[in-house]
Amino acid sequence: MAERSPTLRRRELASRLRELRKQAGMTVDEVARELMCSTPKVSRIETGTRLPTLRDVRDLCRLYRLDEAEQTRLMTLAREAKQQGWWNRFDDLGIDSLIGLETEAKRISAHDSSFVPWAFQTEEDARAIIKGI
């Protein structure tokens, strides 16, 4: 099995927690009040900018009255999101979120406006490329 991307797990966890809050009919303020934390903390957890602690996830599962299977799934996501990706050793590159998403991508599309595929080049394009213009 390929290494699981912590970046993708964090986004998946955040999205699922936001969805569960909405299904419970609660506001971010209400959840923050119940967890005895700040509203920005809950908001950051739901946007994926802050990784929730395992305690946060457990408390949210209880608050949303989730069954054991869903609790286990969310706790697993939270643990996987905490793991370091192989790319974190190269943090000076500043591309961790891009690589984190690319590792599990099913399809990647690229666009390069400075390159003209050979099939679409005109004779004039070919001459310019050969001359290095």
Q: So what's the pLDDT on residue 102?
A: 65
- Taking the C-alpha atoms of residue 93 and residue 112, their distance in angstroms, rounded to an integer, is 21
Q: So what's the pLDDT on residue 54?
A: 95
- Tens of pLDDT along the chain (133 residues) come to 345 666 788 889 999 999 999 999 999 999 999 999 999 999 999 998 899 999 999 999 999 999 999 999 999 999 988 876 666 666 666 665 666 666 666 676 766 666 666 666 788 877 887 887 6
Q: So what's the pLDDT on residue 63?
A: 97
Q: So what's the pLDDT on residue 1?
A: 37
Q: So what's the pLDDT on residue 15?
A: 94
CATH 1.10.260.40 fits 6-102, yes or no: yes
Q: So what's the pLDDT on residue 129?
A: 74
DSSP SS3 for 31: helix
pTM: 0.64
Q: So what's the pLDDT on residue 82?
A: 83
Chain centroid, CA 96 distance in Å: 11
Q: So what's the pLDDT on residue 87?
A: 60
- Inter-axis angle of helices 54-63 and 6-23, nearest 10: 30
- Taking the C-alpha atoms of residue 86 and residue 109, their distance in angstroms, rounded to an integer, is 23
